[in-house]
Amino acid sequence: MSNGAELHPTPIEGVLELRTQPFADHRGAFLNAFRAAEPAFREAWGEKAIAQVNLSRSEAVGTVRGLHLQAPPHSEAKLVRCLRGRVWDVAVDLRTGSATWGRWQAVELSPDLGNALLIPEGCAHGFQVLEASSELLYLHSGAWVPEAEAGVRFDDPQLAIQWPLPPLGLSGRDLGLPLLESRP
């Protein structure tokens, strides 16, 4: 069926791009979005449970969502895959004591690329829509705990994220997130 997945490390420890080649023929295509027993998936995800699966759809090009995470003790890992469209997916290292604390990494995700981004516990996640009506699939290692919601502003000058398009469509919640320097 489909070819095996490959892990591609990023400069931020634990943030991994997972590339999976779809099997395609005259009928369409098939892609293993997650297979716990496959070595690349097992290395990336480990023994974590999948506590929650979410779908997100964003209509307008330029829309930014994030940068979100769950605060300890409710930290969670996320595996994010684009099912439709294209997004610029961003992980920000907010792990206390990490050698890459305050650094960000971005990867374009799309069905054509067949890739996903693993965001480990303690890293914030956000994305920008590059193609209208983009849809994301998220696997979460922990359950959503509303009082553990945390994050940092998308336009934090200390992070200096270079969004590929002018950021649009931010929610009031995202605009109210703190700057990195004022996070607890």
pLDDT digits (tens, 9 = 90+) for 4-38: 788 899 999 999 999 888 888 889 877 777 877 78
Catalytic residue among 68, 74, 125, 140: 68
Residue (of 92, 83, 68) closest to 15 by Cα position: 92
Q: Which domains, ranges and CATH numbers included, belong to the chain?
A: 5-179 (2.60.120.10)
Q: Which of 26, 125, 138, 140 is catalytic?
A: 138
Please confirm, yes or no, whether 74 is among the known catalytic residues: no
Q: Which residue bears the tokens 């979005």?
A: 33
The continuous run of DSSP H or E covering 107 comes out as strand 104-109
Residue 140 falls in the annotated catalytic set: no
Note the pLDDT tens digit of each residue in 47-94. Answer: 899 999 999 999 999 999 999 999 999 999 999 999 999 999 999 999
